[in-house]
Structure 1
Amino acid sequence: MYESTRGNLNGQTASQAITLGMVPSGGLFVPSTFPNLNWQDLQGLTYRDVAKQVMMPYLADFPEEAVSSIVDVYRDGTFDGEDPAPLVSVGKFGVLELWHGPTAAFKDMALQVLPDLLKVSLKQFNRDEDVLILVATSGDTGKAALEGFKNRKGMHIVVFYPDGGVSPVQERQMTTTEGSNTHVVAVKGNFDQCQTAVKQIFASESLKRRLQEKNLIFSSANSINWGRLLPQIVYYYWAYLQAVKQGKVAAGSAMNVVVPTGNFGNLQAAYYAKCMGLPLDKIICASNTNNVLTDFFATGVYQSQRTFYQTISPSMDILVSSNFERFLYEMSGRDAEKVRSWYDASNQGMFSVDDATLKACRNTVYAGWANEEETLETIAKSYQAYNYVFDPHTAVAMKVYDDYVSATKDQTFTAIASTASPFKFSSNVIRGLDQRESCADEWEALNRLSMLTGWKIPAGLQGLEKKPEKRVHSAIPEEIAQLVQIMFG
């Protein structure tokens, strides 16, 4: 069963939590208890079968055959190769490559599963309305969600992205998505403004009533939806299983993970794996110049009302980390009253946690950040040292990991979550690899990066510049609700 982080809606089934997306009156759904899952029982299984074993306990109201069918996506050719999330040995650490799906980003690992989770949820929940999926994206979620939901009967999806705040490849991926049920909106603002507008729509009873008259209900494909977060737990189990199989970790010994993050969902999934009994020790949180999370772990103060920076790692350009609420719920001892007070609108995005909660946070997570120059330097140094190409998000994680090892001398084997193919950010990766190189044309940069490194351009990025673009709507943040109403009301 599922409960709200703010104590305002409890006793919900998995189907209800996934269909609603977020708690209508504010808050996020979390499992009431965490199942224990011994990693040893998963040894020798395929990724698809590991996914079933990890996800089943959380989907108590789902038929087993439905879950079996849902996880078949991990072996049906949607992902490149037999292993959708290989742990690649690099130096003394491992890189968990999460970008072998159709959009070359880690979001595919969950967003190829969510549409079917939602379909089954609606059936279990006895809902026969069409679903309107609203998605705010800082870059990668948008295309992955569009790809997962395109041409799904009874489902419509609208993606809002910050105009000029994503890479040219990310934007082109979204604007060339096929499907008559897919819609894209360029918002003159940043990701946080897009995300806030979507949350306000979810809370609007009048808009819900108007859409209900059209036989439509809202849901979300952002990681505020439990159905997005659940499949992400799987690959931390997979990383540990591979580390043991490769002899990098002694069976039962601890492993660290480093996660480049903005919205905290990918990191929260690692923490949930730890709650289930996976032998994870330190979870390392890596931020870019928008280092609101790093500052929190240093001071205990969360301050989102600050200067927003547009960086070369755009998927991390976030100041309001939605999933952090789930983390604080656990770190405070599941104190819904505290969480409710911290996230009260009157705080205007700033709050301080108590000493006990901060201590629990620091005992669980190490946080650091890297600026633009350090990110580019890390791309170059890592390629020279390991002949491995990092995208600008994973490079942030690599820099923070180096800082962590320097500060702690911790030699525990560590898996770095690699969240996107370097080809999604080719021109900036080329800048990092060779300061003398410059490639203003993003499509030329794809080929140039391939020639420089010998790496193959992912299939989903090939020929993007030649694909026809769909109509892109434009709006300011304050107009988003009205636009949705015009489009569907």
Structure 2
Amino acid sequence: MRYISTRGEAPALGFEDVLLTGLATDGGLYVPESLPHFSLEEIRSWRGLSYSELAFNVMHPFVDDAIPAEDFRRMLDETYAVFAHKAVAPLVQLDTNEWVMELFRGPTLAFKDFALQLLGRLLDYVLEKRQQHVVIMGATSGDTGSAAIEGCRRCEHVDIFILHPYQRVSEVQRRQMTTVQGDNIHNIAVRGNFDDCQRMVKESFGNQSFLGGKTQLAAVNSINWARIMAQIVYYFHASLALGGPDRSMAFSVPTGNFGDIFAGYLAKKMGLPISQLVIATNRNDILHRFMSGNKYEQHQLEHTLSPSMDIMVSSNFERLLFDLHGRDGLAVKTLLEKASKGPVSIEDYRWKHARKLFDSDAVDDKTTCDTIREIYQQNEYLLDPHTAIGVHAARNCRRDPAVPMITLGTAHPAKFPDAVAESGLSVKPPLPAHMADLFEREERYTVLDNNIAGVQEFIAKNWKNT
């Protein structure tokens, strides 16, 4: 399996190099040169498998011979053994043919654990084999940071630097990152928004001279292909649990960076019957504006009750644009250069092709709170604000009531108690037992100005091999 850049100029790489490289040298994102495709008969044969067994079948073609099969199986068993539910991604029914897939049963209570618990093990394996040290640099709008730290903190060959927007993540999200102790763990609070943090990460990957040639950066954001690869699995898991592949499924995905829903798009291309993918966003609705009106234009970023989606530059959207343009890297590069200067649209026939599968909705804070309250009153089931946006969008955009609609439950409601309180409910979501003392733990983080030179200087001074 080889991987190519969405901008067409970087060299093709194997799995190990893509794992460590993150962003391609031409500024693009890596995607597989070709996708594996599974027949309905083969998918059907996976019914009854454990989550880790299913994950092996779905992901092994992407890893190929880079990691021996028995080692990869062991990593997957270890990854999903730490989840708090035996089903790993249990399904909860809300209404007739309407479901939430709980993706928050991992150590940090968010869907990012599915990929980042695995990514830490993959990095440890490859870096030990190569006797190489890397610096992980990542940006988070709330959940990626804690999942990356938890997944990678025991890695012997990495230093971790996570940037988050100062005072723009929930207190639980912040404490999950800043209370993890370790000489190789560094949390940086940037006086800016998530897009500022993400821009610094991308620019740093493009020019790593600040590291003095002594190490290299590795990515934990969803620009890293391994993140997307691991997220494909739970689409197959949900489908098989509800009668697939003999019936089609629809999914509603709360998303800001487009990675989680792009994994669903890939699952369909790999042979899983999916009839609809709903892009569920908050007021930061660049994806909704594109999908509903073929206009890709950045607006001012707004702070909302669903901070993990407070994103205006959706990195993974480039991977979809690459496919929509017939995998023409130059066309993608040209389009994105124009998009950095103003609004852009794509050819009408390309946009209409995307609309065959994708729908979208943008949900404001009031409607988010109304949905949290409504679902709790109907089912005594508590949603976090991101999942609530997914549920509302699912109901608003649903094409066919006969097709099961599955909303991805992306985070535990305990991470967002302010949103639950604002919904008017008196119930307070408790933290799980392993996090019960979170508010008593010592925090450690550094506040820096929204300045890439200062951030790079901090990293250069603090990674442990300097």
Structure 2 counterparts to residues 56-455 of structure 1, below 5 A: 56-60=60-64, 61-76=66-81, 78-92=82-96, 93-122=98-127, 127-208=130-211, 210=212, 212-213=213-214, 216-244=215-243, 251-304=245-298, 306-344=299-337, 347-348=340-341, 350-405=343-398, 408=399, 410-434=401-425, 449-450=428-429
Q: Secondary structure at the match of 1:389?
A: coil
Measured after TM superposition, the shift of residue 70 of structure 1 is 1.2
Q: Distance in 2 between matches of 1:40 and 1:70?
A: 25
- Distance change in 2, residues 1:462/1:202 (3 Å): same
CA contact (8 A) 1:175 1:472 kept: no
Measured after TM superposition, the shift of residue 80 of structure 1 is 0.4
Q: Secondary structure at the match of 1:285?
A: strand
Q: Secondary structure at the match of 1:449?
A: coil
Confirm whether residue 45 of structure 1 aligns to residue 24 of structure 2.
Answer: no
**Partner amino acid, structure 2, of 1:141:** T
2:449 paired residue number = 475
- Distance change in 2, residues 1:5/1:349 (3 Å): farther
Q: Secondary structure at the match of 1:383?
A: helix
Q: Distance in 1 between matches of 2:393 and 2:157?
A: 43
Q: Distance in 2 between matches of 1:347 and 1:165?
A: 24
4+ long deviations beyond 4 Å? none
Instruction: Kindly tell me the number of residue pairs found equivalent between the two proteins.
Output: 457
Measured after TM superposition, the shift of residue 179 of structure 1 is 2.1
CA contact (8 A) 1:194 1:477 kept: no
Q: Distance in 1 between matches of 2:275 and 2:265?
A: 10
**Partner amino acid, structure 1, of 2:44:** Q
Q: Distance in 2 between matches of 1:296 and 1:156?
A: 37
CA contact (8 A) 2:208 2:216 kept: no
Q: Distance in 2 between matches of 1:275 and 1:336?
A: 20
Which is worse superposed, 335-344 or 413-422?
Answer: 335-344
- What are the ranges of 5 or more consecutive residues in structure 1 without an aligned counterpart? 438-447, 451-455
- What are the ranges of 5 or more consecutive residues in structure 2 without an aligned counterpart? none
Q: Distance in 2 between matches of 1:345 and 1:486?
A: 36
CA contact (8 A) 2:124 2:155 kept: no
CA contact (8 A) 2:137 2:219 kept: yes
**Partner amino acid, structure 2, of 1:105:** A
Which is worse superposed, 306-315 or 57-66?
Answer: 57-66
1:16 paired residue number = 17
TM-score by length of 1: 0.90
For residues 424-445 of structure 1, the C-alpha deviation after alignment (integer angstroms, 9 at most, x for no partner) is: 00121122143xx5xxxxxxxx
TM-score by length of 2: 0.94
Alpha-carbon RMSD: 1.7
Q: Distance in 1 between matches of 2:304 and 2:255?
A: 14
